[in-house]
A and B are shown apart, each in its own frame.
Chain A
Amino acid sequence: MAQTKQKRFILRTIILSVLVFAIVYTIYNNATKEKVEVLGIGDEAPDFTLVDLNGEEHRLSDYKGQGVFLNFWGTWCKPCAKEMPAMDRQYETFKEQGVQILAVNIAQSDFEVQQFASQYGLDFPIVIDKTKSVMEAYNIDPLPTTLLINPEGKIEQIVRGEMTEQDIAGFMEQIRPE
């Protein structure tokens, strides 16, 4: 009798825990689905290659060992235009220390991007995501969005919205290789 009782206790515990786990997991997944979907902090940053304004190809994995400041932007986006000169200034300081900026434009024409780059005198590489496939892979919603990728190629932080020059300096410091 005691044995059946024990068996029943174990069985009930197992059934209840499986059910509770399933429910908690579902609710957790539903709650976080909208926000991160695929990418989270600590995940491997999906590799991609895009061509910059000079026709040069940039492959994310080629920058392993360097911190990558991956910025998604558009010329029509006001906060993007505001933070770009600050990014450029910090780039001058940090590029010697192994921090690279890749600015990914979302599917605009070469002309507009070129014009924007020369207007603001931007030195860092600007690539254009013509088919929005990189945007899709990174699940970028608001512009600007910036991903901080550490020298190991892992996502250190995801910044949605505008950054001040101080923020930018801080972030670059964060992904600077030792």
Chain B
Amino acid sequence: MNNIICACGHENPEGTVLCGNCGRPLTKEAKNQKLADMRYEGTARRSQTYNKSIIDKIWNFFSSVKIGITIIVAILVAAAIGTILPQVLYVPATTEADIAAYYERVYGTFGKIYYELGLSDLYGSWWFQTLIGMLGISLIVASLDRFIPLYKSLKKQRTKRHESFMKRQRLYAQGENILGENSLAKSEEKLKELRYKVTREDGALLAEKGRFARWGPYVNHVGLIIFLFGVMLRALPGFYVDETMWIREGETRAIPEAPGFYLESKEFILETYDKATEDEVFGEAIDRVGTIASNYQTDVVLYKKPEEALPGQTDDLKEVKKESIQVNHPLKFEGYSVFQMDFRLDELKTMHFKLSNKASGETLGDLAIDLVNPETSYDVGKGSKVELLGYYPDFSGFENGEPQTKSPVPNNPAFLVKMFTPETPEGETSFVAIKQTVEPLGDNEFKLEFQNVDTRDVSGLTIRKDKTLWILALGGLLFMIGVAQGSYFNHRRIWIHESTEGHLVVAAHTNKNWFGVKKELDQVTEAAQLPPYIDQHDTEGQELKEDGEKSS
């Protein structure tokens, strides 16, 4: 490794542009420039120093801002392409095979490729996550490589710099020392008034303020990394839950992803605005739209199973609390929130029939079949009874003479019954469905006549747990602090040297907002009668490189 030894005797690592001690330009390029490139104080980016092993090569790869930008652009392009077709979440298919078939059927070859590349589930695809991970590595490596040399360089900066350094500053002045020995003292007084931190060292003065503004981009990056870390945690079990459950009135169900907790739905309530009770001004809107919901609510009881109880043991559940879940008023327990999300009204619950004589129309009695828990036999009274032979909650037709059900939900209940009356002690078999009665064993004398139904409502609830939220918030907060720190504050430095010929040399630098530092330098110039400065940027018409530290 070749160190560069400056004329002042200071050893600088390879790649240094300005001497870390006196500020002399070290490279040919820097020597030919009229203005010094003050990025990272002219220090060597750490990774430039070594490039030997494979680890160094990987490190250098990620240290490059160009690579970082490339990764960001790749992520943006991928995210943009991900919006062309709907994501998996919005596709009416659940199994992998169905989803694949759906994309091919609806969007053709493009859809097939889209699905194969994982663009249909962009955030879940391994290569997208790899890109995000690479961005994280790039952020960390690039920041370390820039922050550490910059920090060291600013920490040990000397008060007195070499003349060639001063001359290459954008704001520069050289001229008569009017106040003589008082110049520096007067300047110091004014600079302190302007809240600069002033150091003096044998005929040289350095005034500095707002150095912390230089750390803005790094604080910002730390915020981003914490944010990415939070997102990463979501993939681990126990940190993040987002589940849905459907629960009917009267049901008790295990809460998905919340082991040991059970929820019982007491009632689902849907309320609408009533024209009569609302303010008159709303009357028109209610007339126009029809019904407007004012409240969706599920009254629930939360249970916890005893410590030693196993799944399936539900006799001795302990009540934790009763609560009314409303929109924006979730049920909260142990880090979980249960939100009101959806509902289905009027699912069949109990069906009422009467047993009657077909010829005379005479009623023998009533029976009610609870669809949740049907019984095998119903006593109708007067010596008559109805036996239940079969129950098909979602009747979908016959197959080989067998009634079929396509789901366990009572959407279209049907029953196979045997009716016993004093007149027909042998019993009569009948198949009773909604709007359909089949008498498979010949004509019956009696029939079950449908009377009415009781219904119940179904609540759609969402169960959420997010232990990463505060990490994300912290990351976001740091991000914003970093942005503010870097944007609203400037690192300003003013150097004043007494030169040997009884002259004064003045130079000033800021990382941004030259107007601000000029205004302050104007005041110091006036107070200490310093030689008038020139903005070499204007006079040279030279394009200064954008300060790379500014952008995050």
Contacts and interface: CB of A to CB of B under 8 A. Distances in A.
A106 B409 CA distance: 12
Contacts of B310: 47-49, 59
A50 B134 CA distance: 49
Given A8-B50, A26-B129, A75-B408, A111 B256 contact: no
Contact of B312 (A74, A75, A76, A129): A129
Interface stretch (A11-19, A147-155, A170-178): A11-19
Interface string A46-57: 111110000000
Contact of A23 (B130, B259, B406): B130
In which size bucket is the chain A interface?
Answer: 35 or more
A143 to B, nearest CB: 10
Contacts of B124: 30-31
A110 B373 contact: yes
Contact of B314 (A13, A30, A109, A130): A130
A120 to B, nearest CB: 11
A62 B334 CA distance: 32
Contacts of A48: 310-313
B53 A9 contact: yes
A41 interface: no
B50 A131 contact: no
Given A15-B140, A110-B373, A29 B388 contact: no
A22 interface: yes
A27 B126 contact: yes
A12 B56 contact: yes
Given A38-B237, A133-B312, A27 B133 contact: yes
B45 to A, nearest CB: 14
Nearest to B409: A76
A111 B236 contact: no
A137 B97 CA distance: 26
A74 B55 CA distance: 57
A164 interface: no
Contact of B232 (A22, A108, A133): A22
A48 B254 CA distance: 13
B55 A108 contact: no
By CB atoms of chain B within 10 A, which of A23, A29, A127, A130 has the most? Answer: A23
Contact of A132 (B253, B313, B374): B253
B406 A76 contact: yes
Nearest to A135: B254
Interface in B23-61: 50, 53, 55-56, 58-59
Interface in A90-148: 106-112, 114-115, 127, 129-137, 142
A38 B256 CA distance: 12
B394 A76 contact: yes
Contacts of A76: 393-394, 405-408
B357 interface: no
A129 B314 CA distance: 10
B59 A16 contact: yes
A71 B394 CA distance: 23
A16 to B, nearest CB: 6
Interface string B391-423: 101100000000001111000000000000000
Contact of A131 (B254, B259, B406): B254
A20 B374 CA distance: 58
B278 to A, nearest CB: 41
A142 B94 CA distance: 11
A19 B374 contact: no
A46 B312 CA distance: 11
B235 interface: yes
Nearest to A58: B312
Nearest to A50: B312
By CB atoms of chain B within 10 A, which of A26, A48, A107, A110 has the most? Answer: A26
Given A5-B50, A19-B140, A110-B373, A131 B59 contact: no
Interface of B: 1, 50, 53, 55-56, 58-59, 95, 124, 126, 129-130, 133-134, 136-137, 140-141, 144, 232, 235-237, 252-257, 259, 262, 310-314, 372-376, 388-391, 393-394, 405-408
Given A9-B55, A48-B311, A115-B389, 14 more contacts: A12-B56, A19-B133, A22-B232, A29-B236, A47-B310, A48-B310, A76-B394, A107-B408, A109-B391, A111-B374, A111-B391, A137-B254, A137-B311, A142-B95
29 contacts: A9-B53, A13-B55, A15-B140, A16-B58, A16-B59, A16-B137, A19-B136, A23-B134, A26-B133, A26-B232, A26-B235, A27-B129, A29-B235, A37-B237, A38-B237, A48-B310, A48-B311, A75-B405, A107-B408, A111-B388, A114-B376, A115-B391, A127-B312, A131-B252, A131-B253, A131-B312, A132-B253, A133-B254, A142-B95
Interface of A: 1, 5, 8-9, 12-13, 15-16, 19-20, 22-23, 26-27, 29-31, 33, 37-38, 46-50, 59, 74-76, 106-112, 114-115, 127, 129-137, 142
